[in-house]
Structures are given as C-alpha cells and as structure tokens.
A and B are shown apart, each in its own frame.
Chain A
Amino acid sequence: QKEVEQNSGPLSVPEGAIASLNCTYSDRGSQSFFWYRQYSGKSPELIMFIYSNGDKEDGRFTAQLNKASQYVSLLIRDSQPSDSATYLCAVDHSGGGADGLTFGKGTHLIIQP
C-alpha cells in the first residue's frame, strides 16, 4: 500500500524563525511531490511542488526532495502568524495525476507571535 507519513504535530515555532516540515513516502516510483496548506474549515491550497532531487525555492518557501531516502520537506523562512495552518504532503505515484494524489495526515503548524 502506498503511504505518505507526516508528524501530526502540533509543531510550534516562534515568529520569524524557520519552520521545518517533513514527509516520507513508501512508493519508490513516485513521480511528483506537493505541499498544500489548509486553514481550518477551508480547502487545501497548493504551496509548492517538486519533481527533481534537490531544493526548489519560492519566496519564503523551500521544498527539498531526496528520492533515495524517500523524503520530502518544506522549509518556511521568517515564519509569520498567518502561516499557522495544517500542511499536507501529497505524492503523485503515477505521474500526470491520473491516479490522484496520496496525502499524508498533515502537520499542524503554530507560529507563536
């Protein structure tokens, strides 16, 4: 069974610090990796996606992928209270999205002012 694992948290980080969110996946053939942010009562919102090993930066967000270790992470620099949310790691096993995404259970992030 293809699984995606995340620490459910809560992960508490002081405002202005770096928040580090981690995710592991079981299917070595997985193609694409996504981070979604979900505020309480809202729908998942795409933050980052990454396909290749290494780092990908977008503003305050950096996604890191290590396929050999089956590990993907999200770093949030200069954390703001508005970053407080649940962060969902998602994996596309098939490539192209044909089978939908497999989600982790999410990490609840709290940014302390």
Chain B
Amino acid sequence: DTAVSQTPKYLVTQMGNDKSIKCEQNLGHDTMYWYKQDSKKFLKIMFSYNNKELIINETVPNRFSPKSPDKAHLNLHINSLELGDSAVYFCASSQQGIQYFGPGTRLLVL
C-alpha cells in the first residue's frame, strides 16, 4: 500500500503553460506539505496545509497555488511555468511532526 502518492511521476512542458501535480495520502495524517528539490539537490519547504488550512507559504511566487479538496489530498497548481521551475517536487504528510515523503514529480520546463 502506497502511503503518499503523487501523479504524474514525470512532467515535461513548455514555458508559459499551466500544470498541476496531485498528491494523496492514506495515512490519516492532518498535515501535508509541498517541497521543491532543485538541481543542486537542496530540499526546501514550499507550503504546509493543516486540516485544509494554509499554515505557511515560504517566499513562493504566487504562480504556485496549493489546493486541498479534503484532508487526504493536496494538489499543486503552477501557472505560467518558467525555466527555473524545473525541479523535483515532493509531497509529504505528517502526524506529530514526523514527515513521510511521496515519490516525487520530476518537472522539466523547456
């Protein structure tokens, strides 16, 4: 059973397009996150959601918008994609601070 899943696994798109990444967790956790790992492998928090409420938004451009239809899902929508958005995006969920990561979505913007 997959605890935290993401789709798609790979995403190749052109500059200026809009795309979404989906995340689902079946752990019953209250908090979900989006992280970005850049080409230098540096992993950085983007968003945190607790019970469908945004808790923190770390200096992320407003082209990025998290959307949570329910506690088990946190999707990431990206408008007007730029070359610098190319990275691996990880979804994670946590209970009492211990976080578990999804498999990642590799985004390449051409």
Contacts and interface: CB of A to CB of B under 8 A. Distances in A.
Contacts, number: 61
A43 B103 contact: yes
B99 A43 contact: no
B42 to A, nearest CB: 5
Contact of A46 (B33, B100, B104): B100
Contact count band on A: 20 to 34
Contact of A44 (B40, B94, B97, B101): B101
A85 to B, nearest CB: 12
Residue of A46, A95, A101, A103 most packed against chain B (CB within 10 A):
A101
Interface residues of B, number: 25
Interface string B27-52: 00001010100001111110010100
A44 B90 contact: yes
A88 B43 contact: yes
Interface of A: 31-32, 34, 36, 38, 42-46, 49, 86, 88, 92, 95-103, 105-106
18 contacts: A32-B97, A36-B101, A43-B90, A43-B103, A44-B90, A46-B99, A46-B100, A96-B97, A97-B94, A97-B96, A97-B97, A98-B50, A99-B56, A100-B35, A100-B99, A103-B42, A105-B42, A106-B43
Interface of B: 31, 33, 35, 40-45, 48, 50, 55-56, 58, 90, 94, 96-104
